[in-house]
Amino acid sequence: MTQTCHDSISHRAAAIAPSSTLAITARVRAMKAEGRDVIGFGAGEPDFTTPDPISEAAIAALRSGMTKYVPVPGTPEARAAVAAKLQRENGIDCKPEHVIISNGGKFSLYLALQAMINPGDELLMPTPAWVSYKPMTELAGGTFVEIPTTAESLFLATPEQFEAAITSRTRVVILNSPSNPCGTMYDPDTIRGICDVLARHEHVTLISDEIYDRLVYGGRTHLSPGSLDSMKDRTITINGMSKTFAATGWRVGYAASPGNDGAVVKAMAKLQSQMTSSVTSFTLPALVTALESCQAEVADMRAAFERRSALMYELLSTWPGVTCPPPMGAFYVFPDISCTFGRTSPGGSEIENAGTFAEALLEETGAAVVPGDDFLGCGPNHIRLSFALSDQAIEDGCARIGDWIASLS
């Protein structure tokens, strides 16, 4: 029997869908290369360049010969800088040896799940949620269990919903606040309430994905579960350089887990030693500079995102029939566009779902958005737009989208 190409691919690889958000980003890049007039609301990355002191630190490290293998979890200096950041900004008590630096927050999450999940275990998470959590859970042999939320509840789950959803098979709970794709976040009291519930279920570990912890608006407070007595020994905190420091291409993320003297981090380091060995050596001094010396740059970028969040919300509120909670953090809005389903676009496309909405919108107006399907839960009624682009692009793009929706028949 001849083996087809498909047969040579593992079941594991065949079962996983590619990242839909990265696919949109690639499509926009290709359309721009063809000279098409595209406004990209799709990418989940800051439009700023990485602040100069961070780049200079990497260049200096390269020039000084820091081009060799470094310790698997990162240099002692970089791990100490992460531990100090977590103590200073998040109130998380952890030692440098409880920190591991990996190739992006994405790989930190992947390693954490590989280190904790056995086949048959369940991972519980409110949805809509970022596209990679479910495939990563399944790659670890686990089952992704949703707590579906609604726009009315700002896409947030209550402590009672967690209590009702936890079973004897629940191994990991993930919280992502502020949220990608929802742009909303938990208030400190709800975080405390959820942690009180989790604390009663001793077999459950919490992963707190805090990659957007510095991007919060309206004077809101971000509370790290790892700072609470109730869950500090059973929380793995994930963060990284990508969003806070406009450094998505650097691929630097980290995880911290002080419980049981860093047992999870040690397991993650063992896995990392057989996979990537470490992050790129000369990014580590740059991470130290970012965490210790770039507060002013971070404050400026946050202020720009806050201004754009207000502009974006004001403009999308004029789109006929579309509803959306106001953005609270990260750089996303997640409007409900189901009012357009069953209608026809000026170019003759039938809008059946968020996918056909996004497809026709891109073709007919050049505005790129992400259909919400892969974010699960009520996601299929929504699209995600990033407001990490210039004020002018936000104004032009929102006008194109609003006019297009108004012209649907």
Ligand X SMILES: Cc1ncc(COP(=O)(O)O)c(C=O)c1O
Q: For ligand X, which residue of 149, 176, 184, 283 counts as binding (CB under 6 A)?
A: 176
String of DSSP letters for 315-342:
HHTTSTT-B-PPP-BTTEE--B-GGGTT
Cα separation, 380 vs 372, in Å, equals 5
**DSSP label at residue 19:** P
- Under the binding rule (CB under 6 A), the answer on residue 374 touching ligand X is no
Residue keyed to tokens 């007039």: 37
Q: For ligand X, which residue of 242, 244, 338, 381 counts as binding (CB under 6 A)?
A: 242
Taking CB under 6 A as the binding criterion, the range among 100-108, 278-286, 334-342, 387-395 that sits at the site for ligand X is 100-108
Taking CB under 6 A as the binding criterion, the range among 77-85, 101-109, 308-316, 354-362 that sits at the site for ligand X is 101-109
Give 90's Cβ-side CA count (13 Å radius): 28
Cα separation, 344 vs 350, in Å, equals 5
- Under the binding rule (CB under 6 A), the answer on residue 186 touching ligand X is no
Q: For ligand X, which residue of 121, 209, 297, 306 counts as binding (CB under 6 A)?
A: 209
- The helix (run of H) or strand (run of E) holding residue 102 is strand 99-102
* Site size with ligand X, rule: CB under 6 A: 13
Looking at beta carbons only, is 252 or 405 nearer to ligand X?
252
CA angle, 244 then 209 then 198, to 5°:
150
Among 405, 294, 385, 389, which Cα is nearest to 42's?
Answer: 385
Looking at beta carbons only, is 45 or 395 nearer to ligand X?
45
Q: For ligand X, which residue of 51, 73, 104, 329 counts as binding (CB under 6 A)?
A: 104
Taking CB under 6 A as the binding criterion, the range among 31-39, 104-112, 278-286, 393-401 that sits at the site for ligand X is 104-112
Binding string, residues 138-157; x marks residues near ligand X by CB under 6 A:
--------------------
Cα separation, 173 vs 304, in Å, equals 32
Cα separation, 35 vs 29, in Å, equals 10
- Under the binding rule (CB under 6 A), the answer on residue 182 touching ligand X is no
Beta strand segments in 192-269, E? 205-209, 235-240, 253-256
- Under the binding rule (CB under 6 A), the answer on residue 329 touching ligand X is no
Looking at beta carbons only, is 244 or 340 nearer to ligand X?
244
CB of 276 to ligand X, least distance (A): 13
Interface of this chain with ligand X, residues 105 to 124, rule: CB under 6 A: 105-106
Which residues are 370's β-sheet partners? 384
Taking CB under 6 A as the binding criterion, the range among 23-31, 93-101, 102-110, 363-371 that sits at the site for ligand X is 102-110
Cα separation, 313 vs 316, in Å, equals 5
Q: Residues interacting with ligand X, by CB under 6 A?
A: 44, 104-106, 130, 176, 180, 209, 211, 240, 242, 248, 253
